[in-house]
Amino acid sequence: MMMQADSMKDQVAGRMRRVGHWTGPASDRLVLDYEGRFLRRKRLITASGAGLLVDLPETVSLSAGDALETAEGQMIEIVAASEPLLRITGDLTRLAWHIGNRHTPCQIAADHLLIRADHVLADMLAHLGAAVAPVEAPFTPEGGAYGHGRTQGHDHGPAHHHGHDH
């Protein structure tokens, strides 16, 4: 539900800050998919239909359960939206290795893996013996190994260089 900028009264939140894994009463909610939860400055529409201009000092990876606090002290809860995913079952250790080797975000459960819908990866995983089924669900993949919330990029620091055979 996108509203025209002219007709929308934005709550400008230039001093907005991220509050990690917060619990309490929220003034409103932002329902965002995985890509939408990675932001710095963007106009968004809350669940109630209110306009909100997010303006953070740096790009952050928001998680479901986080909140944004506006300059006025209102708490806006972050909710992970359902999105098209692939549910993968089979030899999870082997399959997770192949997914990770392609630097693809992956949500890990005891009996399955979830990745964003991608027909090329679905074909590759099926050829590796996986059962692959499309699902709609919130996507909350594992964070990076170096303390970052996202696995984009692949920098181990200046002292560690290596190649990848793809």
Q: Which of 37, 54, 55 is CA-nearest to residue 152?
A: 37
Q: Are 20 and 63 in contact (CB under 8 A)?
A: yes
Query: What is the pTM (predicted TM-score) of this model?
Result: 0.74
Whether residue 129 is predicted with pLDDT greater than 90 in this model: the reply is yes
Q: Give residue for tokens 């919330």.
A: 149
β-partners of residue 132 are: 88
pLDDT tens, 89-119?
999 999 999 999 999 999 999 999 999 999 9
The confidence band for 24, taking pLDDT boundaries of 50, 70 and 90, is: confident
Q: What is the pLDDT of residue 13?
A: 46
Q: Which of 35, 42, 59, 34 is CA-nearest to residue 2?
A: 42
Q: Which domains does the chain have, with CATH numbers?
A: 10-80 (2.60.260.20), 83-138 (3.30.70.790)
Q: What is the pLDDT of residue 102?
A: 94
Q: What is the pLDDT of residue 160?
A: 42
